[in-house]
Chain A
Amino acid sequence: MTPVLELRDVSAGYGPFRALFGVTLQVGDGEAVALLGANGAGKTTVARVASGLVAPEDGTVHVGGEDLTGAAPYRFARAGVAHATEGRSVFSSLTVEENLRLSFRRALGSARVDEALGQAFDAFASLDRRRHQPAGTLSGGEQRMLSLARVLVESPPLLIADELSLGLAPIIVDEIYAQLARLHSEGTSLLIVEQHVSHALGLCDRVVMLEHGAVAWEGAPEQAGERVAERIFEHGGDG
């Protein structure tokens, strides 16, 4: 079966700085892959290459079998890749509702926008209370919920979730992971870049570990067990 995402021998970086060296990675249809590694291992760059934000200097990127190497991010999005980026990933000057409308109108069509808004606010009631508030004034957790609400309603073929739990209270992290699990059970493939190793291992079908911009190990989470976490900590990062 054609993988939802396939990176083949990808090298990439920022100007003179190279962050990835020949990374090969696949995410199968309906599969959840956890991407782990120490700080600076290249996890976020892999996520950015997989959504078109960073063009590879070498290698290829296929989405659903289509070669999108070097294509603009909107083509990745239209091919079914949703990317919840690290840090703030909402339009801070737009209201909560405008953030959702912007995405829903393109993904679902004008006729379904109101219905989709209802679903998003059902999933995250706290957002409903702040629907006319600029997204930049939301707390970190609410901003995460907003970016996730968009994805949950659209149910894209592939979700790349980059450090979704970063800096959030455990109760909110639990809620976010519950929603991710629901999304996965409905058939969305996941590529999870995460520092909370236990959460990621609990959800994923396979683990890929990066070291110094290259794939150092990959396998099933039960095979990896504590060894994965130990290896991460040995390299000075928190995952």
Chain B
Amino acid sequence: MLAVTFIEDVLRGVLQGLPPGAVYGLIAIGFVLAYKTSGVFNLAFGAQAYISAGLYFQARNEWGWSNLAAFVLAVVIVAPAIGLILERLIFRHLPPGSALAKLVIAIGLSVALPNLFELVVGFEPVAGRTPEGLLNGGATVFYDPTGLYAFSRDELTALTIAIVSGLALAALFRFTPIGLQMRAVVESPRMTELNGIRADRVSAFSWALSSAFAGLAGVLIAPRFNTLAAPDFFNLVVVAVAAAAIGKLVSIPRAVAGGLGLGVLIALIDTFLPRLSEAQEWIEPIQDNVTPAVPFIVLFALVTLWPALRRSQEQSDPLAGVDPPPPVPAASVRTPFLTILTAVFGVCFFLVVGVVVVTRADVSWLFLITQAVIMSTIYLSVTVLTGFAGQISLCQGAFAAIGGFTVFQLADRFGASVLVAAVVGGVIAATVSALLALPLVRLGRVWVAIATLAFAAFFDAVVVKLPFVGGGGTSLLQGTRVPRPVLGPLDFANDRLFLGLAIVVFLACAYTVTAIRSGTVGRTLAALRGSEVASESIGISPTRARVTAFAVSGFLAGLGGAMLSIQQENVNYASNFAPFAALFWLVLIVSLGARTVEGAAYSGASFSLMDPLIFKGALLGWILRSEERIPGIFPISPKWRFVLFGLTTITFAKHPEGLVEDGKRKAHARVERWRARVRERRQDAEVTA
């Protein structure tokens, strides 16, 4: 009897797991499809799926279109059109094999596309309402062939399409000429062209196909939520990456199987853990958190432990030598005159800004400027890791949150000194970061990004909910209070004083980062970025250098996170440090300049000040000397900030040093041209005389 119940439970768990597994499988198919046909680790897949789901919802509910008409618009027309536009405007121009640039651009698009869609279509994320599926009665008509689990019509549709499309796409790659050409183009478009094949057309077809699939997946997935918002789709993509990793990012049938397996595994854990926890009380906290964490644990374990993935190399284009070399940093080639000019300009600028802030800024501007300085400290953590070490970390938000939560725990709960707690927060974040780096240092850069994304998602789903981190219970909602420090006679509850402290911390961190760049670690990291094999042949240890970079980066993020929490007197985890919010940090600094301290400072300023200065029109108001003269188009939606910086990541492939560096180089060239003209005129005048 017991055995029968057990088998029934297992079967029920398997059947329960298939519908969510089909959803993971659908996204994993799209993910593998994009990677296989374009070499892009397409984190924007969720954004593309969201657009089609949103458009389908809008057409059906707001415009009153039929299911079929809405489907044709969202999936057959708009989804492939987005793919074609992305290919034509962005990905066609990227050098093949630039996996890191493609990843960064995909992250930028995952931030930009949902906001652009919402702005253009006037779509607002839906909450508290389950979107309708593809078929009428999708959520109300059920089929229960086994008597163990009733499948809804929507679930059966998703399951069928996942399996059929998985097999069909596998056949496309295996047996058709276009499948072969798509695989060839990913490796080397130029070599494909040497075979007489138009690589641009093949690439466009690949993007249209994978984007249409993203649209289809979006429409099929939407009924699983009772909301329709971009972050849901992004989170689902992270889950699906685990399924895609099971297929090593190249096998579509294995990705489908991985998705279904993941769904079943989670359902079985859900089925059996409660029963175990009745007998063993200690399992209860695990039970509360383990289910949402399973995909991230699976993903992290796959990336770090599965030899097949560890050994997989990023494909390199044998004709990469045709591309011109990237430009060197502007500061390394400028003349002494320009170095002095830049320094004088910088000092004058900050003196003027400092005087204006101290004498004129009100509380709200002080808050924003202080936030800008602190965010610059956090961005320095990206400078070290991405700019110097060439590694993409998608869990900097988690490290910053560790700093914030440490101050909350030590200062608020145990009465420790706030400043000491902030430093301890940095040290804990550095330790976690270094430990995390150990299994990652030998991985390809894309896999490092995936593993850190898995860690960020795990931190978000489990760690912040632990009592000794986020306070447990309702702390996260009610607030994780952080006091302002007092140092002798200095009470940093005063906002101007706290701004001074933030500046001192930033300057100290900036000095450290500059010293690291010009020191042994910086040079070692630069050598490793150039050629890991060549570096190892002269005795450089990649492990030591990269673990150091991760540790320093973790410390800076942790310290910055602690400072931000102290400034806001609350950790504010969801708005400050959640994975999707932290993704925007990377987008911003990579767009502006991840290799220099100036890039970090510009990023901090843009993060905090662009919205009030530019989008709310304050700067224009100052120029026009009256707020009343600000044109009616202001305030512009803050969503444009995400669109703007999301889309500027497109420049990453051409200017990996960022827009700030590119601007500096152009400005230097202009000044040098001007000086040359002046010299010529002077010489002409002397000759004439």
Q: With A74-B199, A77-B195 as given contacts, are A105 and B177 in contact (CB-CB < 8 Å)?
A: yes
Task: Report which of B183, B192, B194, B324 forms a contact with A51, defined as CB distance below 8 A.
Answer: B194
Choice from B187, B192, B199, B319 contacting A92 with Cβ under 8 Å: B187
A53-B319, A53-B322, A74-B199 as given contacts; A83 in contact with B194, CB under 8 Å: yes
Which residue in chain B gives the minimum CB-CB distance to A79? B196
Cα–Cα, bound, A108→B336 (Å): 62
Mark contacts of B301-344 with chain A using CB atoms, 8 A cut-off: 1 yes-contact digit, 0 otherwise.
00000000000000100110011110000000000000000000
Known contacts A53-B190, A98-B180, A102-B181, A74 near B196 by CB under 8 Å: yes
Residues in A whose Cβ lies below 8 Å from that of B324: 14-17
User: On chain A, which size bracket covers the interface?
Assistant: 20 to 34
Residues from chain B with a CB closer than 8 A to the CB of A137 are: none
A142 to B319, CA, bound (A): 19
Q: Whole-angstrom distance between the alpha carbons of A73 and B194 in the complex?
A: 6
Question: A78's closest neighbor in chain B, by CB?
Answer: B196
B193 within 8 A of A: yes
Residues from 74 to 110 in A contacting B, C-beta threshold 8 Å: 74, 76-78, 82-83, 85, 87-89, 91-94, 98, 101-103, 105-107, 110
Question: What chain B residues lie within 8 Å of A87 (beta carbons)?
Answer: 318
Complex CA gap A14/B180 in Å reads 30
Q: How would you classify the secondary structure of chain A's contact residues: helix, strand, loop or mixed?
A: mixed
Residues from chain B with Cβ under 8 Å of A105 in the complex: 177
Q: Which residues of A contact B325 (CB under 8 A)?
A: 14-15, 17
Given contacts A89-B318, A91-B187, A102-B181, contact A107 B323 (CB under 8 A): no
A106 contacts B196, C-beta separation under 8 Å: yes
B570 touches A (CB below 8 Å): no
Q: A16–B325 Cα gap in the complex (Å)?
A: 9
Residue of B nearest to A85 (CB): B319
| Contacts A53-B190, A53-B319, A87-B318; A72 near B184 (Cβ below 8 A) | no
The answer to whether A157 has its CB under 8 Å from any CB of chain B is: no
Q: Is the CB of B183 within 8 A of A73?
A: no
CB-CB < 8 A to A15: which residues of B?
Answer: 324-325
Find out whether the CB atom of A102 lies under 8 angstroms from the CB atom of B199.
Answer: no
A91 lies within 8 A of B322 (CB):
no
Chain A residues positioned under 8 Å from B194 (CB to CB)? 51, 53, 73-74, 76-77, 82-83, 85
> Known contacts being A14-B324, A85-B318, is A77 close to B196, with CB within 8 Å?
yes
Cβ–Cβ contact A94 & B190, under 8 A: no
Which of A48, A51, A82, A93 counts the most chain B CB atoms within 10 A? A93
Within 8 Å CB of B180, what residues of A? 94, 98, 101-102
Closest Cβ of chain B to A226, distance in Å, is 32
A101 cross-chain contacts in B, Cβ below 8 A: 180
- Chain A residues contacting B319 (CB-CB under 8 Å) are 53, 85
Report whether B318 and A107 are in contact in the complex, using a CB–CB cutoff of 8 Å: no
Query: Inside 8 A of A82's CB, which chain B residues have their CB?
Result: 194
Interface centre among A89, A91, A110 (most CB of B within 10 A): A91
Q: Does B86 contact A (CB under 8 A)?
A: no
A78: min CB distance to chain B, Å: 5
With a cutoff of 8 Å between Cβ atoms, the chain A residues found around residue B195 in the complex are: 74, 77, 102-103, 106-107
Contacting A at CB under 8 A, from B182-207, are 183-184, 186-188, 190-200
Chain A nearest CB from B637 CB (Å) reads: 39
A93 in contact with B183 given A72-B198, A74-B197, A106-B197 (CB within 8 Å)? yes
Closest to A48 in B: B322
Write the A118-143 contact mask toward B (1 if CB under 8 angstroms, else 0).
Answer: 00000000000000000000000000
Q: Give B317's nearest chain A residue, CB to CB.
A: A88
CB distance from B93 to the nearest CB of A (A): 14
Interface centre among A15, A48, A74, A83 (most CB of B within 10 A): A74
In the complex with contacts A73-B190, A87-B318, A89-B191, A14-B184 CB distance below 8 A: no
Among A181-206, those with CB < 8 Å from B are none
Give bound CA distance, A78 to B197, whole Å: 9
Q: Are B322 and A54 in contact (CB under 8 A)?
A: yes
Which of A76, A77, A82 has most chain B Cβ within 10 Å?
A77
Most buried by A among B194, B315, B323: B194
Residues A179-238 near B (CB distance < 8 A)? none
Distance (Å) between the CB of A11 and the closest chain B CB? Answer: 15
A92 touches B197 (CB 8 A): no
Q: List 6 A-B contacts (CB under 8 A).
A: A53-B319, A72-B193, A72-B198, A74-B193, A102-B184, A107-B196
Q: Which residues of A are at the interface with B, using a C-beta cutoff of 8 A?
A: 14-17, 48, 51-54, 72-74, 76-78, 82-83, 85, 87-89, 91-94, 98, 101-103, 105-107, 110
